[in-house]
Homo-oligomer: A and B are copies of this chain.
């Protein structure tokens, strides 16, 4: 239902039956002006059709960790599949670039991505610095126009998916993780993307209805403080009847039933002293909510906590333990089977650190609702993916400032060891033979000559697959469903050696180049870099 709705909402789209980008604001104008000014300069120099290869990669894992999850690929493919400048957009560009010649705008209105090739690591994969997440090949002027939208679609998606995966790792597999961040996200699209990619990274559900609608993600929610405050007392409840779920029984006055039980609990021997004053507007709100949702009742219990209970992380541990004791006591006292195991949800500015602290203190929380810190990636609000030219007209290119890029159109492999864990990623030139299972191979650090190791892989995976073949005859990888991507992501995380994934001092995963590529990088480097003069 939801998936169908989403497909309808976004339109069937153009190229290859791929739907349009989820956010209708993702158009060819969603780019930096310099992509258009450069396109003009390329066109003016007659270079616009030069065949260029760009790598999209990042330089450093986020959040002090040693892994990243790749997100945003599907939206990139949707973008290029439907890439076409409209007449109104062209008119706007003319007004923005008034000195450019007419022929350029005619060229702009003619372009699409039919001669662009995109190779990518599957979405939801565990990925590492320097290894291209995507390799994009095509006419240089067109590929430049894709740079900013691709980065805008991949950077945040990968960042927040990684953040979600980190929260899953610290919370453990048995806990329910709920994403509650829409109101604090960086704008509406930030909120929608957060819900989607947190689910991909291992969350169970979101509070965001639009994300449920667009992506078919499970949605969850109960009530807020305002609901509690809106009740004055039990007189607010007019319709007090409640039918049993199979319709066989009917309680005529649920409010009295609640009051009677409250009195019984207060008097019960094992519970005496646990209960003090009951705030009647709170009781009315809970009763009313139970009448509306008898099968999915969950009460928010901290609206009136002025007597000293505070929901910071330390007390959350204590409070959850006390609540569990109380639930168990009720189960024992009145023989309500299962009451002791009732769900305890916690949500109050939670993040990786506070969940880690709760684990250390011991807690009885079943579900965590996580908002601000998760969706805004508060601990590190940006991932620095870059988009670098590595080859033009079959000539390798290298950028030497600050961070040296790895030149050439490449192939990338993940090599697995005896115990089934990935050992190292290796990049080779396009035409080098693929690493073979059981064959010894030298893996070199791309820039540090002393760092190298022989590996005998037990299993080899080529990392990048063809998601947009352009004019080649390569088969196109299908875009999997969000649930498939999520399962793949969970599977990949499970396969990693635990010391790469731990929160404290994780071991860096090794990324390498072949001996041949190493030599070539250093040949180019020495060739391009001027010799300094000390003055």
A interface residue numbers (CB < 8 A to B): 1-2, 5, 8, 21-27, 29-38, 40-42, 44-47, 50, 52, 54, 88-89, 91-93, 95-96, 99-100, 140, 144, 147-149, 151-153, 155-157, 159-160, 180, 182-193, 207-210, 212-213, 219-227, 229-230, 232, 236-239, 273, 276-277, 279, 288-289, 291-293, 295-296, 302-308, 310-311, 372, 376-378, 381-385, 387-389, 392, 395, 397-402, 528-533, 535
A399 to chain B, nearest CB (A): 6
Interface residue from B23, B50, B303, B397 paired with A399 (Cβ < 8 Å): B303
CA–CA, A310 to B400, complex, Å? 11
Give 18 new A-B contacts, CB below 8 A, not counting A2-B92, A230-B389.
Answer: A8-B88, A24-B24, A31-B209, A32-B180, A33-B212, A33-B221, A45-B236, A45-B238, A46-B239, A99-B296, A144-B227, A148-B182, A152-B185, A186-B190, A186-B381, A187-B192, A279-B528, A378-B381
CB nearest to A310 among chain B residues: B402
Interface residue from B89, B219, B372 paired with A213 (Cβ < 8 Å): B89
Interface residue from B144, B187, B377 paired with A193 (Cβ < 8 Å): B187
Interface residue from B190, B382, B383, B400 paired with A305 (Cβ < 8 Å): B400
Chain B residues with CB under 8 Å of A26's CB are 188
Copies of this chain, tallied across the complex: 2
A414 to chain B, nearest CB (A): 27
Most buried by B among A192, A224, A308: A224
Interface residue from B21, B225, B399 paired with A225 (Cβ < 8 Å): B399
A1 touches B95 (CB 8 A): yes
B151 touches A184 (CB 8 A): yes
21 contacts between A and B (CB under 8 A): A25-B25, A29-B209, A33-B219, A44-B291, A45-B291, A96-B212, A148-B183, A183-B385, A186-B187, A187-B187, A225-B401, A229-B389, A230-B389, A279-B530, A305-B400, A306-B530, A308-B532, A310-B401, A311-B401, A376-B381, A377-B381
Chain B residues with CB under 8 Å of A31's CB are 182, 208-210
B230 touches A397 (CB 8 A): yes
Given contacts A24-B24, A381-B377, A382-B378, contact A37 B223 (CB under 8 A): yes
Given contacts A46-B238, A152-B188, A207-B34, contact A306 B401 (CB under 8 A): yes
A28 to chain B, nearest CB (A): 9
A58 to chain B, nearest CB (A): 11
Chain B residues with CB under 8 Å of A148's CB are 182-183
